[in-house]
Amino acid sequence: MRWNKFRLKTTTEAEDIVSSMLMDLGIEGVEIEDKVPLTRSDKEQMFVDILPETEEDDGVAYLSFYTEADADIGQTLADIRRELEEMSDYVDVGECLIEESQTEDVDWVNNWKQYFHQFYVDDILIIPSWEDVAPADSDKLVIHIDPGTAFGTGMHETTQLCIRQLRKYVTSGHKILDVGCGSGILGMLALKFGAAYLVGTDLDSCAINATHDNMEVNGISRERYEVLIGNIIDDKAIQDKAGYAQYDIVVANILADVLIELTPVIVNQMRTGGIYITSGIIDDKEKIVADAIEKAGLEVLEVTYQGEWVSVTARKN
């Protein structure tokens, strides 16, 4: 099946109000292209720390939406033009040109799966939940994973750095806190390495279903873990739910700037002697993260590297 694509030229000033007008008229999703720099919270969700150089914001925004190729949207387009006309009395809606084109039917949510195949992190086999384990691998430590729309296939260098540190430091009976759990991959592996209980937390509500689904596929029962959604950095309710002075290991694979704010808070969740495993640190931010960790009273034990990414492991003495 093919789709019709409509691309409306407007302004960054009007993009939010025009998007919501399109949704009110029954358009189910709007793609926004503009040159407005990403906010800090955009970057945290997207896990990007260095951005390509972009052109300066010129105030122009393009809003695209799609309809089935045979849908008659003549009335909707007329309604959109009328609404834009009315809006132009109080906001600069720009040129309001609407270009129409045809596009392929691509399942954007699942398209990436064709590039995700089983792979090893040392001797751990990480396998998409839609692939089979070969008989020769049946004796291996296997993790089945489908991150859904959350982050965490295991392919990213920062995830692998954390996996190796968890393997090294988790011992039987440990209680683990996984901050920024995404697909649940790190907590799940910690449980496989012998941990007794896991609390995962993330800002992104997609992490809940992704973590539950992955735990189930890997045979981990709900009594062994829980997932909390919210920002543990400043949400006291999440901090209280996670509990204080009780984690043997806290793992956080999040961007450097978030780790700097997280560290002085999360130190309260750790028990004395507990280990803090961080990654998500691009190489030129190694020092500022290590400094923040020391400033929070932790002793840096190890710094490990993969590609341009860094992991810092520390202990609360």
Ligand X SMILES: C[S@@+](CC[C@H](N)C(=O)[O-])C[C@H]1O[C@@H](n2cnc3c(N)ncnc32)[C@H](O)[C@@H]1O
Q: Scanning residues 15 to 74, which ones bind ligand X (CB under 6 A)?
A: 44-45, 47
Query: What is the spatial order of strands in the sheet that 31-33 belongs to?
Result: 31-33, 60-68, 3-11, 98-103
Annotated binding site for S-adenosyl-L-methionine: 159, 180, 202, 253
Among 197, 182, 173, 178, smallest CA distance to 145 is for 182
Number of residues that bind ligand X (CB under 6 A): 27
CB of 146 to ligand X, least distance (A): 13
For ligand X, which is the closer residue by CB, 44 or 248? 44
CB of 140 to ligand X, least distance (A): 20
Asked if residue 313 lies in contact with residue 278, where contact means CB atoms within 8 angstroms, the answer is yes
Q: Which of 126, 203, 289, 292 binds ligand X (CB under 6 A)?
A: 203
Radius of gyration of the chain (CA): 23
* Residue 40 burial class via C-beta count within 10 angstroms: exposed 0-12, middle 13-18, buried 19 and up: exposed
Region of 22-30, 122-130, 225-233, 266-274 interacting with ligand X (CB under 6 A): 225-233
Helices (DSSP H) in 179-255: which residue ranges? 185-192, 206-217, 236-242
For ligand X, which is the closer residue by CB, 7 or 113? 113
Rounded to whole angstroms, the Cα distance separating 263 from 283 reads 18
276 lies in the binding site for ligand X (CB under 6 A): no
Q: Which of 127, 242, 258, 260 binds ligand X (CB under 6 A)?
A: 258
CB of 188 to ligand X, least distance (A): 10
Region of 101-109, 165-173, 195-203, 284-292 interacting with ligand X (CB under 6 A): 195-203
Amino acid at 142: V
Q: Scanning residues 175 to 194, which ones bind ligand X (CB under 6 A)?
A: 179-182, 185-186
Cα 271 to chain centroid distance, Å, stands at 27
Asked if residue 118 lies in contact with residue 270, where contact means CB atoms within 8 angstroms, the answer is no
* Chain residues that interact with ligand X, rule: CB under 6 A: 44-45, 47, 150-152, 156, 159, 162, 179-182, 185-186, 201-204, 207, 231-233, 253-254, 258, 280
